[in-house]
Structure 1
Amino acid sequence: MTSLKLKGNGASLKTLALAFIAALAVGSAHADNHKPGKGVTVQPAVATWTSAIPVSWVYIELLSDLGYEVEDPMSLQNPVAYLAMSEGDVDYWPNGWFPLHDPQLPDNADDTITIFDPLCSGCGLQGYLVNNEAIEKYDIEGIMDIADREEVRNAFDHDDDGKAELYGCPPGWGCHEGINAMIDKFELGDRIDHVDAGYSANFTEALSQIEEGNPTLYMTWGPSAWILKLVPGEDVSWINAPGIVEDENEKASGIDGAVTDPIEMGFVAADIQVAANNKFLEENPAAKELFKQAEIPLKWISQVDGKMSDEDLDDSEVQPLARKWIEENQDKVDKWLKAAREAAK
């Protein structure tokens, strides 16, 4: 075999080789740190409930890592946020709860808004819980076991009015309407008393009753601070409840801390999803790919929500918590960012 002979002395060849290696290194570093969003200003929205805030900050930090200039999120009610997104006044929000939010989308949503795969699948839970000691003692699987059996109903009657207390939601909340609709539809008003004080006061009362060893029924949701104070599967369990519309009668599977699998929650278990304006996505493929990639765990969202409640944190104090989570999950995050940068090439 004839070997190739390069002209030139050894020193110059060595210099060329080193320069080539250096160029590769620079190219690799550029790929790792490429800022496809540089020069682009992004306007997000954020939902009005507290557990939306940590999710919002994670996306702000990730988009900033891609070079985007992210404005302070607009705090908007759901229908207003979707309308603003469809009109291009808002670029994205990461607080969609679907299918619960389907009726709140504007008529032109199919043409103007993209809803991405869940960032937290099945994480938007709502339902009814009972302390585990009472579930075991009275063999409870659902609300009807409490309503229909006098001995059990009396055990949940904390004010001796002949009805089991259900610590629920204050007027004006969607869950307040849902609970009352269930009570009306299934004619439970003479056996179940919906206690509809402020939610914090209601939960405090439910917690106090449970700590005193009393059988207790209450409504809650996740992600939230509440499911860390009384942990489903450890302190309490989700119980079956009849839904108020046909779609809500379908049973959900794989719910942690449920008395049965599948379980009828009484409310739809929502996926938490990013929604974004289509024009923004067309002009920003890096952001579009990031929205496809990122996932945030329910436990972390709830932990931060709990910390916000316990320590009275404002929005800006949540930012370092989001950055810390990113750093703790850097290997996974780097894959998302790499895919976003490659999408922008």
Structure 2
Amino acid sequence: MITVARTRFQPDRHLAVLVVLLLALAGCNSTDDGTADGGPAAGEGGGGASITMARATWDTGWMQAEIYRQLLEELDYEVSDPADLTRDAATFYPALAQGQVDLWANGWFPLHDIYLSRPLFTGQEISESIEVVGTQVEGGAVQGYLIDRATAEEMGITSMDDLSDPAVAAVFDIDGNGRADLQGCNEGWGCNLEITSQIEELGWGDNVEQVVGEYNDLLEDVQSRVEEGEPTLFYTWTPNWTIDVLQPGEDVVWLESTAREDVEESTEVDIEGCAGEEPCDLGWVVNDIRAVANPDFLDDNPVVRRLLEVVEIPLQDIADQNARMNEAGEYTDAQVAQDAADWIEDNRELVDGWLETARG
């Protein structure tokens, strides 16, 4: 015979169970650290949440973007391939502010400040809808103008101000119009806009014109001219493969320059290969490389914010990878991804500390 157990309804007991269930359901909609609905709590990863990530058009920042992507994947996020959203700064920041993209690792500050004061269609400035977080490389992004060492020594050129003499500027004239051809940056890049402003505002500007184009193509021409002993004037930054191929102090020299009047920060830096006196006044503020994200996204994903706050990548490691890319000629996204994976494994103890901090 089968016996069926019957339980008499007990109001107090069932009410207690109901209260517990309601509290549990409420816990699903909030976290101990006040995260918005659905955001990972302290001690958790991304729970499979998706992230739309971009990267810069300058390939010197691609490995760093890939390092961030792989770290986020270790935190259980599904991250889009940054290569699918390769953007220049002029198009990235509006997209970020409008929530079309969640983040990138390629912010340069203060160089990129020029993009943040631009208005959105709502009338708000972009700066009101983005968050700069963490410092990937602090004070390592040096920028400035260089010329070939042979011409510098032959003519005693130490500063861009020397180009205020038309005869000196004409030495660097390539197209025959009498003005020095300064190999510059891609259209719309921050450096392109800053060079244009300096040409307009500084005393040597009347005798100098910026050559605009694909940066790597311009610098390949620079390399050829220096190797052939031709007078050459160009812009570059660190980290960048150019200063490995054309070494300051041996092949080329940094020129000193006057900063624009509205620049309030110091533009002096201790750097090898300065044509003038140390410290070398390059006329450019040394930049920090920083991650930039949409603040609403970060509020919903405090795990990501905590990660971005602690990641730091040595400047020399970036420069070494950039040099490998240049030496290879053709370099695939798969190779960039492998470089990032190798870097993470080589720094596994440090990386694990970052991941632990991110999880809270």
Give the TM-score category using the shorter length: 0.7 to 0.9
Counterpart position of 2:92: 81
Partner secondary structure for residue 84 of structure 1: helix
CA drift at 1:162: 6.0
CA drift at 1:142: 0.9
CA drift at 1:185: 3.4
Note if 1:104 corresponds to 2:115.
yes
Return the match for 1:118 from 101, 122, 135. Answer: 135
Q: Give the gaps of 5 or more residues in structure 1.
A: 1-33
1:257-268, aligned counterparts within 5 Å? 257-259=273-275, 260-268=277-285
Question: In structure 1, how many angstroms separate the alpha carbons of the residues matched to 2:219 and 2:334?
Answer: 27
Q: Is the 8 A contact 2:161 2:203 kept in 1?
A: no
Partner secondary structure for residue 120 of structure 1: strand
Closer, same or farther: CA 166–42 of 1 in aligned 2, 3 Å: closer
Corresponding letter in the other structure for 1:251: T
CA drift at 1:219: 1.7
Counterpart position of 2:267: 251
Note if 1:211 corresponds to 2:227.
yes
Counterpart position of 1:131: 148
Question: In structure 1, how many angstroms separate the alpha carbons of the residues matched to 2:192 and 2:234?
Answer: 12
- Residues 62-71 or 230-239, more deviating: 230-239
1:25-174, aligned counterparts within 5 Å? 36-73=45-82, 74-105=85-116, 107=124, 112-148=129-165, 164-169=180-185
Corresponding letter in the other structure for 1:328: D
CA drift at 1:85: 2.8
Return the match for 2:355 from 317, 329, 337. Answer: 337
Closer, same or farther: CA 137–330 of 1 in aligned 2, 3 Å: farther
CA drift at 1:249: 7.7
Q: Give the gaps of 5 or more residues in structure 2.
A: 1-42
Instruction: Note the alpha carbon deviations across 1:204-235, whole angstroms, 9 max, x for none.
Output: 34323322445532222233332222133453
Instruction: Note the alpha carbon deviations across 1:117-176, whole angstroms, 9 max, x for none.
Output: 3211233333101234444554443122354495x6676567887655533346665545
Closer, same or farther: CA 96–329 of 1 in aligned 2, 3 Å: same
- Residues 56-65 or 156-165, more deviating: 156-165
* RMSD between superposed Cα atoms in Å: 3.3
Return the match for 1:319 from 312, 337, 359. Answer: 337
Counterpart position of 1:3: none
Partner secondary structure for residue 237 of structure 1: strand
Note if 1:228 corresponds to 2:237.
no
Question: In structure 2, how many angstroms separate the alpha carbons of the residues matched to 1:320 and 1:83?
Answer: 31
Counterpart position of 1:22: none
CA drift at 1:262: 3.6
Note if 1:290 corresponds to 2:307.
yes
Q: Is the 8 A contact 1:178 1:244 kept in 2?
A: no
Question: In structure 2, how many angstroms separate the alpha carbons of the residues matched to 1:63 and 1:295?
Answer: 15
Corresponding letter in the other structure for 1:285: P
* Pairs aligned (count): 308
Q: Is the 8 A contact 2:254 2:274 kept in 1?
A: yes
Corresponding letter in the other structure for 1:227: I
Counterpart position of 2:5: none
Closer, same or farther: CA 275–266 of 1 in aligned 2, 3 Å: same
Instruction: Note the alpha carbon deviations across 1:267-308, whole angstroms, 9 max, x for none.
Output: 343211111222332333322121111111233333333444
Q: Is the 8 A contact 1:154 1:162 kept in 2?
A: yes
